[in-house]
Structure 1
Amino acid sequence: MNQTLTNIGLLLVRIFTGVIFIVHGSQKFQGLDGTSGFFQSIGLPGWLAPVVATVELVGGIALVLGIGTRIAGAALTIVMIGVLLTAKKGQPFGSIEFDLLVLFTSLQQALVGGRFLAVDQLFGRKKTENSNVQV
């Protein structure tokens, strides 16, 4: 497959996943009291709300910029697993597909990293011609 198209596809997934988390994290901060109350209503401590909001907002920004992409992707994957095991627990597939999609795009970022047009690349290792082995 054309490497340029692969890189563009991964870039688009990274940016749009980041934007989704920026929006969700911002919304949590705008109604933090309500978010804390919701967390408590499902058995989570209220103090966890600003933690999750921060992970979503900062993680989303990191994905968009491609800074610490693997770490941000891993943190956002953990958040989404938490969502599915708490807020969405027991809900039918028809109401969790979006959450699953965001879970797996976050996981993809954790596994693949920033790659194309990412600040991470400024600090990454130099790749040699033979280090790009395909399986």
Structure 2
Amino acid sequence: MNYKTKDFYIILVIYNKNYHDSKTIQDLNQIKDLDKKNIIVVDNSTKDYNNQNIIKEYGYQYISMNGNKGLPKAYNQGLNKIDKNANLVCLFDDDTAVEKIYFDTALNYINGEEADVYIPVVKDQLGMLSPLIMKNL
């Protein structure tokens, strides 16, 4: 199958911030090839930042966790909302910088090499965070 950008489901967990302050939401709004109904914002905030109505105006799906339940539970709630036939799922935090080239690069791998899970290289100021192997901890 030849996947396209619109085939991605995106689960984005927002925590204790207004959607205006989410780098990821602002970046996703700039990527026109994404299917907005496939973007699921899971609000893990401990208070109301008035995100629900605005997120729905964007055409995204919205899930409130009614408080901080942790990333694994938030991601799982998002996974429960995706189409059961979905093949491409991206998990993001609210401060992840995302550009169209991310999806283009991912599609080059996905459409060219068979694998169950693709993990990008993630770096911070100190070096590579992922993928990573830690031994003898």
> Fold match, TM over 0.5?
no
Q: Which has the larger strand fraction?
A: 2
- Larger relative helix fraction: 1
Q: TM-score under structure 1 normalisation?
A: 0.25
Give the structure-2-normalised TM-score.
0.25
Which entry has the higher C-alpha Rg, 1 or 2?
1
